[in-house]
């Protein structure tokens, strides 16, 4: 109960809370009652994010709790121990208590990744810790040697190069050798001597003599395509075979060493190998029974199941009305469908091989992954593994895919994975996430003039986009044609095939790009993102597709103090006009943001609405519909002026889904009570709560409750104060809340009596 009152707890030192509990005589074991919440989960650590002393001082005075949690003393009450949470508390201490250092070092080389990383993070503060880590390179446990090499890579001390090179010469195990090579490369050592074709072939021949990874007999090495080095020389097939075997042993789908190896190949070979590996992985992971097998199983079981269904109906007609007239054919099809959906195996144990897909062509990767995520979304581990190597790719389509998943995806863990990978890419390139987005926008093959040239050899065709972003084709004489023609006898069939494939890829790419960019600009509006004028004019305005999208939006020019200088709209000829048709020039020292009704006066809003109507502009989304109401009447960040408005569960769901919301996690019994929408750039959730439904969903009466914004999904007690939110986000969230209310039957004074539970 104590921690459900977040607003109270956050204002006090844990020691003060302990004193109050003692005086009130709530618990006999006060210290344990308080500690349990923090030692079994880090959920409440954020309460004291800005004032950590309120947390660590309590544990410093009661260090017997840490002793018991880490096994230094027999536990008395503590259970469900989470070592990561314990270590995170020690991280808050001004200095690490000496008695825990040796054990933390042991954990820092241990097998559990979360615990290992947490311990390493704490120990990073110890002066010259790298000297102690270097000694671990000679550990008898190969896992500890790998952990030590990886840790040294993170510490980045140049003085560790000598110890790593000494360890590399002695090391016999390939997985440890790989970790050491990665560490050397990260610290800045030239490892080119280990990357010559001769050395790589030597390593391959030695490696292939060893034992191959288990559960990998399904892979056909004979199908590996012929590949070339960057200089055009042919790659010995043994090298590629060994790379694949090593990758499987390393079990890391984003292993840096495999990325380095892969980049030694020609661009074409990187694409070939990436596509081959990804297709092989997906094929093995999605093996299903054949149609013949499915029909055979259905034939054997249909009669028995049919009899069971008929018996169920006779015994419980109210529960099984759909079995009343069921036929043999329906049952046969049901069993056949079930059988065809059975997975015969998995490729997840070979996920390391995916590290060699980092050079795959973006269009191919997006197509394969989109299909897999649509049809096999429940295979989360596989999806995350296939996304991992994309963080080592510079292909705009791969990056845009990750960006779109980071904004919206049905599975929270995959969405979180995509966010992490996007941050890694941005860090690798030295950009912010927003800059990454702008600088990697695909063009769907269009040149700066918005044209796609399709070369048949003898003939040339031009593809472009009309004002509705539909493709149009013209021949060399400028005449419109409905589709690309077949090849003439005198034309190169392969060249024609390539041109048709190029056009097909561009069409797919455009559809993906439009969805991504419209969603991105909406989030940018809500976040009140600001572009430097120089960046906006360099990366957005001249882009052959995005440059046309921004013409369907109204923008604001801001000075360095955030004051509005101009509101404007870009036009087809590249000029910028106001709602009075005056042309303006932007000051390169200023900033640009998207306009919204929360930022403009009612007079300006009316003028822009009239302007858009006069010019027949079809906006990408509504900018002037959500008005910012008076929010001073709401307390503690909770908006509840539509509490008690009645609707049904399906109407509420459909309205919120259309607005981009997702269902919150279910609680015990399959119940859920809210929907949320996440804004990655702000790290903010919009949460809309209602009386609840359960899975599988049924159409039941429901009542709208409240709206709030938080940094953690569903963390109502930490609702962000409304005056701390971007005005646009607040206005849009409130408009969503009102939209749900208006879709129902209105306020019902007896709403509590209308609920089914």
Render pLDDT for 56-69 as a digit per residue (tens, 0 to 9): 999 999 899 898 88
Q: What's the pLDDT at 79?
A: 61
Place of tokens 């008076």: 630
Quick check: 203 pLDDT over 60?
A: yes
d(Cα 687, Cα 643) in Å, to the nearest integer? 14
pLDDT tens-digit readout, 234-288: 999 999 999 999 999 999 999 989 999 999 999 999 999 999 999 999 999 999 9
Quick check: 493 pLDDT over 80?
A: yes
Average pLDDT over residues 327-338: 94
**Domains in the chain with CATH codes:** 2-187 (1.25.10), 198-286+347-439 (no CATH), 291-340 (no CATH), 452-509 (no CATH), 528-614 (no CATH), 645-754 (3.30.310)
Decide: residue 328, CB within 10 A, 0-12 exposed, 13-18 middle, 19+ buried: exposed
d(Cα 680, Cα 678) in Å, to the nearest integer? 6
Work out the widest C-alpha separation in the chain, in whole angstroms: 97
Burial state string for 464-476 with b = 16 or more CB within 10 A and e = fewer than 16: ebeeeeeeebeee
Q: What's the pLDDT at 77?
A: 62
Percent of the chain at pLDDT exceeding 90: 67
Q: Are strands 583-584 and 576-577 parallel, antiparallel or unpaired?
A: antiparallel
d(Cα 64, Cα 61) in Å, to the nearest integer? 9
Quick check: 6 pLDDT over 80?
A: no
Q: Can you tell me whether residue 397 is helix, strand or coil? A: helix
Quick check: 133 pLDDT over 90?
A: yes
Q: pLDDT band at residue 1, thresholds of 50, 70 and 90?
A: very low
Q: What's the pLDDT at 212?
A: 80
pTM above 0.75, yes or no: no
User: Which of 672, 687, 693 lies closest to 638 in space, CA to CA?
Assistant: 687
Mean per-residue pLDDT over the chain, rounded: 91
Instruction: Give whole-number Cα distances, 147 to 104, 109, 154, in Å.
Output: 14, 5, 11
Q: What's the pLDDT at 668?
A: 77
d(Cα 149, Cα 135) in Å, to the nearest integer? 10
pLDDT tens-digit readout, 220-242: 999 999 999 999 999 999 999 99
Quick check: 147 pLDDT over 60?
A: yes
Top pLDDT among 143 and 400 is at 143
pLDDT tens-digit readout, 428-469: 888 888 888 888 888 888 998 999 999 998 899 999 999 889
Q: What's the pLDDT at 757?
A: 74
């Amino acid at each position: 109960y104590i921690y459900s009152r977040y607003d109270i707890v956050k204002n006090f030192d844990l020691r003060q809370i302990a004193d109050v509990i003692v005086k009130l005589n709530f618990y006999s074991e006060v210290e344990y009652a308080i500690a349990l919440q923090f030692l079994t989960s880090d959920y409440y650590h954020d309460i004291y994010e800005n004032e950590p002393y309120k947390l660590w001082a309590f544990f410093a005075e009661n260090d017997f709790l840490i002793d018991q949690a880490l096994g230094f003393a027999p536990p008395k009450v503590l259970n469900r121990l989470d070592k990561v949470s314990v270590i995170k508390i020690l991280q808050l201490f001004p200095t690490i208590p000496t008695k825990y250092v040796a054990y933390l070092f042991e954990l820092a080389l241990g097998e559990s990744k979360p615990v290992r990383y947490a311990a390493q993070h704490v120990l990073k503060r110890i002066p010259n810790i790298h000297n102690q880590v270097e000694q671990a390179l000679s550990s008898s446990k190969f896992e500890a040697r790998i952990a030590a090499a990886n840790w040294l890579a993170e510490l980045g001390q140049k003085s560790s190069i000598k110890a790593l090179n000494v360890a590399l010469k002695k090391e016999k195990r390939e997985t440890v050798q790989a970790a050491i090579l990665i560490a050397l490369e990260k610290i800045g050592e030239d490892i080119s001597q280990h990357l010559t074709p001769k050395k790589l072939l030597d390593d391959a021949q030695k490696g292939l003599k060893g034992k191959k990874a288990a559960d990998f007999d399904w892979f056909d090495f004979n199908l590996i395509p012929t590949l070339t080095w960057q200089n055009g020389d042919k790659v010995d097939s043994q090298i590629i075979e060994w790379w694949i075997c090593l990758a499987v042993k390393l079990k890391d789908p984003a292993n840096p060493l495999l990325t380095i190896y892969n980049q030694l190949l020609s661009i074409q070979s990187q694409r070939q190998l990436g596509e081959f590996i990804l297709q092989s992985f997906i094929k093995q992971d999605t093996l299903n029974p054949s149609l013949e097998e499915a029909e055979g199983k259905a034939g054997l079981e249909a009669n028995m199941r049919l009899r069971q269904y008929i018996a169920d109906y006779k015994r419980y007609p109210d529960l099984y009305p759909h079995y009343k007239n069921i036929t043999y054919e329906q049952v046969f099809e049901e069993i056949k469908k079930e059988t065809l959906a059975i997975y015969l195996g998995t490729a997840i144990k070979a996920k390391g091989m995916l590290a060699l897909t980092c050079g795959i062509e973006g269009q191919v990767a997006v197509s394969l992954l989109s299909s897999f995520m649509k049809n096999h979304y429940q295979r989360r581990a596989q999806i995350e593994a296939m996304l991992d190597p994309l963080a080592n790719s510079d292909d705009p389509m791969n990056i845009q895919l990750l960006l779109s998943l980071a904004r919206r995806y049905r599975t929270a863990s995959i969405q979180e994975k995509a966010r992490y990978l996007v941050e890694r890419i941005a860090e690798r390139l030295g950009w912010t996430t927003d800059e990454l987005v702008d600088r990697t926008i695909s063009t769907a093959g269009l040149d700066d003039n918005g044209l796609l040239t399709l070369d048949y050899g003898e003939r040339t065709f031009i593809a472009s986009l009309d004002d509705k972003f539909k493709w149009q084709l013209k021949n060399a004489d400028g005449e419109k044609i409905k589709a690309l023609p077949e090849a003439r006898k005198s034309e190169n069939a392969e060249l024609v095939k390539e041109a048709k494939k190029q056009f097909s890829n561009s069409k797919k790419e455009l559809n993906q790009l439009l969805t991504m960019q419209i969603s991105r600009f909406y989030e940018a509006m809500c976040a009140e993102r600001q572009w430097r004028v120089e960046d906006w004019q360099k990366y957005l305005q001249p882009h052959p597709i995005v440059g046309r999208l921004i013409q369907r939006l109204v923008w604001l020019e801001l000075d360095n103090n955030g004051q509005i200088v101009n509101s404007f709209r870009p036009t087809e000829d590249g000029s910028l006009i106001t709602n009075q048709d005056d042309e303006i020039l932007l000051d390169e020292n200023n900033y640009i943001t998207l306009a919204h009704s929360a930022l403009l006066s009612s007079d300006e809003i009316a003028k822009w609405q009239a302007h858009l109507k006069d010019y027949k502009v079809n906006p990408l989304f509504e900018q002037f519909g959500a008005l910012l109401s008076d929010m001073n009447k709401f307390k503690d960040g909770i908006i509840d002026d539509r509490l008690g408005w009645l609707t049904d569960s399906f109407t509420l769901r459909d309205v919120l889904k259309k607005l981009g919301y997702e269902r919150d996690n279910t609680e015990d019994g399959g119940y859920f009570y809210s929907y949320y929408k996440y804004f990655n750039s702000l790290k903010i959730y919009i949460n809309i709560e209602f009386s609840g439904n359960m899975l599988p969903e049924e159409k039941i009466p429901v009542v709208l409750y409240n709206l709030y914004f938080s940094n953690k999904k569903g963390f109502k007690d930490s609702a962000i104060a409304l005056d701390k939110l971007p005005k646009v986000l607040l206005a849009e969230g409130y408009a969503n809340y009102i939209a749900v209310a208006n879709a129902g039957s209105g306020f019902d004074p007896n709403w509590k009596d209308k609920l089914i539970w």
